[in-house]
A and B are shown apart, each in its own frame.
Chain A
């Protein structure tokens, strides 16, 4: 079966640091110095309080599946999901390295970094 290939994410002035960190195996989140809340996807301006004082924090890389869907007829088949991270935010991702029919909501998952077509790394999650 064909290996799933990931397109290269487009880095912007707001997200360059995030994508550099994924190449080093680190998942970064943005937290606001003003209201102390995490948010997703990472922004320069806090979506909760509009403060411009947001900072990068390394995530634990742990979470639970909030919801998912298996694209069984795609080539190759894959699972898209929202994972709720230990820090509280829900991020879109793929669930990998497990039988697709065994994925369950609430399942504990850990981040991995899948190679992208242009040499970057994309955060994905696997059980355990």
Chain B
């Protein structure tokens, strides 16, 4: 079975908050859901499928679906970290194609900023039942130094430079200046990135994404329902998912599961990387973008640094406009999970509703890609290709 053309994204909503000390996580989930349903022109009673991941408190989807008092035929709480919400769109499309639901709601929310979470630099003991814990946690493994080890190896094998990585942040900042909700709206230079404090060599503070409260939601439905609504038609035409792990001790830090999830998505959609007009690329760190672009086939393996340099990711300037909301690096990384906002900005681009200064003219084909978890150990990888019809 293919999901090609079986589902449409009709509602997309990014919660405007970036700091929410006075709201609960459940409240943020529900506010995001309300926003996406209003965007679609649907109501809560229309929802019969619900999708969420590990950011939702409680067992799977139960607590959050109970909070919103949803009446469901289908539920899916697949958790692949920050890439979960791209997986959810693909799973929703499959469930819709199989007749398991008609209107799928996907939500994300969290408050790591208000909770003072040291997302990138604190080692976490995990659950003692996780077999790897004793072989990773005592060494001070963190999100930042895990991605940093991938960056260090990439530099070693391919000659990638800190200046090239910095261009990813520079491009994101050029976009964020037009986003009134973005956490960091100042345009930065390569020199400013390199001058920012070193967090985990070779990654500087400005190579790292923001820590923000917030959330987002999507509504996915059948074509016949989508055509009754007033929103521009955004059709899902390709999807792939491919988690990648430590390979029994043969771990290779130079590539991600995007090599496989991207190939699956492109094959299903019947398009090539060169056809993509806009790309949302997960940007937990600058290196994440470089490696994923290579793995997705936008350039050869090892050439990602050269590809992102000199503004090639800046809308209106470069060949591949990316993360025109400012991405996780400048705009928003709600719940430490950036996959939701990746889909939302791709939908904005396809609808022609991105900020006019970053809107890709005549954008009809877009890609969104997410990496979740830790690139240096175990990560999820999910790719979506969408078209405007």
A residues with CB within 8 A of B? 6-12, 14-15, 19, 37-41, 43, 46-48, 66-74, 78, 80-82, 88-94, 105-106, 116, 122, 124
Chain A residues near B247 (CB, 8 Å)? 47
| CB contacts between A and B, total, < 8 Å | 112
**Nearest Cβ distance between residue B367 and chain A, in whole angstroms?**
28
Q: Which residues of chain B have C-beta atoms less than 8 A from A10's C-beta?
A: 128, 133-134
- Inter-subunit contact B253/A67 (CB<8 Å): yes
B124 CB to closest chain A CB (Å) equals 11
Residues on the A chain within 8 Å of B376, using CB? 82
B198 and A72 within 8 A (CB)? yes
Determine the distance from Cα of A92 to Cα of B138 in the docked complex, in whole angstroms. 10
Residues of A within 8 A of B138 (CB): 6-9, 116, 122
A94 to B250, CA, bound (A): 18
B152 touches A41 (CB 8 A): no
What residues on B are CB-neighbors of A47 within 8 Å?
247-249
Q: Are B201 and A70 interface neighbours, CB within 8 A?
A: yes
Q: Is B200 an interface residue (CB 8 A)?
A: yes
The answer on a CB contact under 8 Å between A82 and B135 is no
Q: Can you add 9 more A-B contacts, CB < 8 Å, to A66-B253, A69-B148, A69-B203?
A: A12-B128, A12-B131, A15-B134, A67-B152, A67-B153, A69-B202, A80-B139, A94-B140, A122-B138
Contact A91 B199 (CB under 8 A): no
- Specify which of A7, A71, A124 is in contact with B145 (CB 8 Å cutoff): A71
Q: Is B131 in contact with A39, judged by CB distance below 8 angstroms?
A: no
Tell me how far the C-beta of B132 lies from the nearest C-beta in chain A, rounded to whole angstroms.
6
A95 to chain B: closest residue by CB: B139
Residue of A nearest to B134 (CB): A9
Residues of B217-261 whose CB lies within 8 A of A = 246-251, 253
Closest 5 CB pairs of A and B: A40-B249, A89-B249, A47-B248, A69-B148, A9-B134
Q: How far is the CB of B139 from chain A (nearest CB, A)?
A: 5
Choice from B134, B140, B156, B251 contacting A71 with Cβ under 8 Å: B140
Cα distance, A9 to B126, chains bound together (Å): 12
Q: Are the CB atoms of A92 and B131 closer together than 8 Å?
A: no
Q: Are A81 and B131 in contact (CB under 8 A)?
A: no
The interface residues of chain B lying within 8 Å CB-to-CB of A6 are 138
Q: Is the CB of B128 within 8 A of A39?
A: no
Within 8 A of A (CB), among B102-154: 121, 125, 128, 131-142, 144-145, 148-153
Cβ-neighbour of A90 out of B148, B198, B202, B251 (below 8 A): B251
B159 within 8 A of A: no
Contacts of A80 in B (CB 8 A): 139-141, 145, 149
Minimum CB distance partner of B251 in chain A? A90
B253 and A41 form a contact (CB under 8 A): no
Q: How many Å from the CB of A93 to the closest CB on chain B? A: 6
Residues in chain B near residue A88, CB distance under 8 A: 249-250
A92 to B156, CA, bound (A): 18
Alpha-carbon gap, A40 to B120, bound state (A): 25
Q: Would you call B197 an interface residue if the criterion is a C-beta within 8 Å of the partner chain's C-beta atoms? A: yes
Known contacts A89-B250, A90-B249; A69 and B134 CB within 8 A of each other: no
Q: Is the CB of A68 within 8 A of B131?
A: no
- In angstroms, Cα B136 to Cα A91, docked, is 9
B135 to chain A minimum Cβ distance, whole angstroms, is 4
Q: Is B153 a contact of A39 with CB atoms below 8 Å?
A: no
A58 to chain B, nearest CB (A): 16
User: How far, in angstroms, from A110 to B142 measured CA to CA in the complex?
Assistant: 24
Q: Which residues of A contact B134 (CB under 8 A)?
A: 9-12, 15, 19, 41
Residue pairs across A and B with Cβ atoms less than 8 A apart, 13 shown, are: A10-B134, A15-B131, A40-B246, A41-B134, A67-B156, A68-B152, A69-B145, A69-B200, A74-B121, A92-B135, A94-B140, A105-B152, A116-B138
Q: Is the CB of B152 within 8 A of A92?
A: no
Residues of B within 8 A of A89 (CB): 248-250
A90 with B200: CB separation less than 8 A? no
Whether B153 contacts A66 by the Cβ 8 Å rule is: yes
- For A19, what are the chain B residues with a Cβ–Cβ distance below 8 Å? 134
* With contact pairs A9-B138, A41-B135, A80-B145 given, residues A71 and B200 touching in the complex (Cβ less than 8 Å): yes
Inter-chain CA distance A116–B152, complex, in Å, is 28
Give the nearest-CB partner of A101 in chain B. Answer: B201
Q: Which residues of B contact A69 (CB under 8 A)?
A: 144-145, 148-149, 151-152, 200-203
